[in-house]
Amino acid sequence: MATSVFLLTCFLLVLGLNVVNGQPLVPALYLFGDSIVDVGNNNYLETLIKANFPPYGRDFINHEATGRFCNGKLATDFTGENLGFTDYPKPYLSNKAKTTKNMLLGANFASAGSGYYEATAKIYTTLSLSKQLALYKDYQNRLVVILGKVNASATINGSIHFLSDGSSDFVQNYYINPLLYKKYTPDQFSDILIQSYVNFVKVMFSPRTLLLSDCISATAIPGPNLNLLVLDIYQPLLDLVTKPIDNGFFEARKACCGSGLIETSFLCNAKSPGTCANASEYVFWDGFHPTEAANKVLSNDLLVSGLNLI
């Protein structure tokens, strides 16, 4: 049986390979997590955490604000291109995601404002990991109808799964929530998040090959027969922040949108004063998320390190 590759990240993790005969190297892509990989699921939720309006998406295809928290492509968009895909998995809450063509491409279940901690998503009325898993099971059932059980299983088992989560648990919950920071130290809260991550893996997978970032200790992974690749996801971003000029950027201390200090989601809008004209000079697009240009650099750096480890 084909082996599914599961990419677990605190920020992002990229696996890139050469394309053979114009065909993607894996059947499909499945994405879970928060705003780092959300491509529009929050558009269909009653939440303030959205990015489906200008200036978001101003450098994306057709200048469309899809719900990506970026001026253009996400790092995982570049990952898909590196793998040979010519289109991107659709947000699963959209009707477009349910067409046969797009179902075969994979699906995106990520939701900005979610986290490993179940209550984080509840605060912002977004999709918790448990709800994302429920949508994934619905996807699997639909795929069986399209392909049959054997072919659907082969597609899922041979595909790549991404998980990018954890930032919102701290930035949008722990550090502003006295019910948490007075009860738990950062290390104690991290342990809670790790356990949630472990439970996510247990629910989703029987033992398979996993690729993960170093934000989670390899010893935390449950089950036997797991081959682990630990990639450094912090140094490439730190290099961009501390040495922007060396990496082709002009500004790393503030973001492109508005004042560049706190604007994100609805605070980064078409009327935000001072939004930069050329986002490719900036490491950060809004107060939390990298620009397309930074995502491209990060994707390429992690691609190289990933291939060396592989």
User: Residues with catalytic annotation?
Assistant: 35, 286, 289
User: Strand 210-213 to strand 106-108: parallel, antiparallel, or no bridges (unpaired)?
Assistant: unpaired
The alpha-helical segments, DSSP class H, found in the chain are 75-82, 100-105, 118-124, 129-147, 149-157, 167-171, 178-181, 186-204, 234-242, 292-309
Sequence-separated (6 or more) residues with CB below 8 Å from residue 287:
255, 257, 260, 261, 262, 263, 264, 267, 268
Residue among 117, 242, 269, 89 at smallest CA distance from 189: 117
Q: How far apart are CA 113 and CA 229, in angstroms?
A: 27
**63-85 burial by CB neighbour count: b if 16+ within 10 A, else e?**
eebbbbbbbbbbbbbbbbbbbbb
Q: How far apart are CA 64 and CA 113, in angstroms?
A: 21
Planar angle of CA 183, 262, 276, nearest 5 degrees: 155
Q: How far apart are CA 265 and CA 288, in angstroms?
A: 9
Find out whether 184 and 170 touch, Cβ atoms under 8 Å. no
Planar angle of CA 56, 62, 63, nearest 5 degrees: 20
Q: What is the CA radius of gyration of the chain?
A: 19
